[in-house]
Amino acid sequence: MAGAVGQQRVPADYLKAHILPLAPLAEQKRIVAKVDSLTARTTGARADLGHIPALLETYKARILDLAFTGKLTQDFRASSTAKSAGNSDWPEGWTLKFLGDIGDIQGGIQVGKKRSPQTELTDVPYLRVANVQRGWLDLSEIKKIAVTPAEKDRLLLQEGDILMNEGGDRDKLGRGWVWDGQIAECIHQNHVFRIRLKNNLLPPEFVSHYANEKGQQYFFDQGTQTTNLASVSKRKVAALPVPVPPIEEAVEIVRRIEGAFAWLDRVSADHAVASKLLPKLDAAILSKAFRGELVPQDLSHETASALLARIRAEREMTPAPERVRKATRGKVSAAMAKNLEAVLAEAEDWLPAQEAFRRCGIGDGAETDAIEAIYAELRALDKASRLEVEVVMDENGRKLHDRLKLKAG
């Protein structure tokens, strides 16, 4: 592929030398119909796949909504001694408590804290806001920080601790997940709270799932915003109301949530695989089409070579005056064309490259010699530093076209 300002092109000699396999005309029509049919199906599949991520999120939100209203475990309560509380907002045996009443909340270490030279310090890994995602922990990049032995002892994470973001973008306040001890002797920074539940009253996953789903609006409303950063205070975190079912039911709720989420993860993985396969399927369809493997062949059809021979014969029978008139029109068009320098000089401002070429007489059906001439002039102006070229981009940073301008002097 040869290139120049504003337009890419394939050299004419390459096209003339390129061998193009041709099927009989009737077979070509069957191939096109089959390709259209199959690509219509892949287009439909691509549209259906596009809906799946939103459906998965809706399903996940519905599971959590049922979980924290007691509806997910109605059958579990029916098989136990607990009964429904009728018109109560909560099932019988459920209570509502503040997070500060059921867990100890601890702030983290301040990054960049000033120390005296005599301070004894030790390097330990620590978790940042970026590590604490909604419902999972991103441990792909763990940084270290120098702390005192006392700070290390105070902030050392334990398996089962709930991590919850204190600062960041407003919609990320309160998001978090449960620490499973993946990294030895790890602490957390001051923009991440650690909640350690008391008396095994609830599974930590229950509280974290609840905070991520039902607590999201609470943290959004209760957070404060500075110019570049939102935050939520320890007092507000402690005031988060949390439903507390009997421990047996809470454990069952977590089990059912995780079972549903595992199924959703499998669907999401299958969706990702299918999304990657669709472009390959489109390419395979076209590959089979041009290898003659997509539709059955019919040997009774007129061959492509016979078709071309017939077309050549019909052209030779075309009256000579018609051929002369066509050639004359091309010559008149070329004679009317202006050179590029004149066109840009007349414009006296930026001009889209395609529009400049059009004013030079280079349009659809232009002769190869005319195209070569305009590109030769373009290269000459550029080499002589007479030409300014600017790329025009869309709002997503994709190139739309080039525009040209003749330099003064």
CB 144, CB 123: distance < 8 Å: yes
In a domain, 339, yes or no: yes
**Does residue 84 register a pLDDT over 70?**
no
402 and 267 assigned to the same domain: no
Mean pLDDT of the chain: 84
pLDDT at 210: 96
- Which of 15, 16, 9 is closest to 378 using CA atoms? 9
Owning domain of residue 285? 24-85+251-291
275-301 pLDDT, tens digit per residue, is 999 889 989 998 888 888 888 877 777
In a domain, 236, yes or no: yes
Question: Residue 175 — pLDDT band, cuts 50, 70, 90?
Answer: very high
61 and 164 assigned to the same domain: no
229 and 267 assigned to the same domain: no
pLDDT at 60: 93
116 and 182 assigned to the same domain: yes
102 and 65 assigned to the same domain: no
191 and 234 assigned to the same domain: yes
Structure tokens at 252: 């069952």
317 vs 3 pLDDT, higher one:
317
CATH code of 234's domain: 3.90.220.20
- Which of 133, 108, 105, 132 is closest to 242 using CA atoms? 105
**Does residue 302 register a pLDDT over 70?**
no
pLDDT at 292: 83
Of 60-69, 279-288, 325-334, the poorest mean pLDDT is in 325-334
pLDDT at 27: 82
In a domain, 133, yes or no: yes
Compute the distance between CA of residue 400 and CA of residue 44 in angstroms, rounded to an integer: 28
Pairing status of strand 162-165 against strand 7-9: unpaired
Final residue in a domain of this structure, among 244, 270, 303: 244
pLDDT at 320: 57
Residue-wise DSSP of 107-146? --BPTT----TT---EEEEEE-GGGEETTEE--SS-EEEE
Percent of the chain with pLDDT over 90: 45
Where is 406: in which H helix or E strand? Answer: strand 399-406
CB 166, CB 236: distance < 8 Å: no
Of 30-44, 82-96, 194-208, the poorest mean pLDDT is in 82-96
358 and 274 assigned to the same domain: no
Query: How distant is the alpha carbon of residue 369 from its chain centre?
Result: 45
CATH code of 344's domain: 1.10.10
Pairing status of strand 95-98 against strand 2-4: unpaired
Count of domains for the chain: 3
190 and 261 assigned to the same domain: no
In a domain, 298, yes or no: no
121-139 pLDDT, tens digit per residue, is 999 999 999 999 999 999 9
Report how far apart the first and last C-alpha atoms of the chain are (Å, whole number): 34
**Strand ranges (E), 227-266:** 230-231, 241-244
Question: Residue 313 — pLDDT band, cuts 50, 70, 90?
Answer: confident
333-359 pLDDT, tens digit per residue, is 444 457 888 888 888 888 888 888 888
186 and 122 assigned to the same domain: yes
Final residue in a domain of this structure, among 244, 277, 306: 244
227 and 258 assigned to the same domain: no
126 and 73 assigned to the same domain: no
pLDDT at 7: 61
Is the C-alpha dihedral spanning 315, 319, 323, 325 positive or negative? Answer: negative
Q: Alpha-carbon Rg of the chain, whole angstroms? A: 35
Of 9-18, 211-220, 267-276, the poorest mean pLDDT is in 9-18
In a domain, 300, yes or no: no
Q: Which residue has the tokens 């390097």?
A: 123
- Please, is 341 exposed, middle or buried when counting C-beta atoms within 10 Å of its C-beta (0-12, 13-18, 19+)? middle
107 vs 2 pLDDT, higher one:
107
Mean pLDDT of 216-229: 85
pLDDT at 334: 44
225 and 266 assigned to the same domain: no
Question: Residue 89 — pLDDT band, cuts 50, 70, 90?
Answer: low
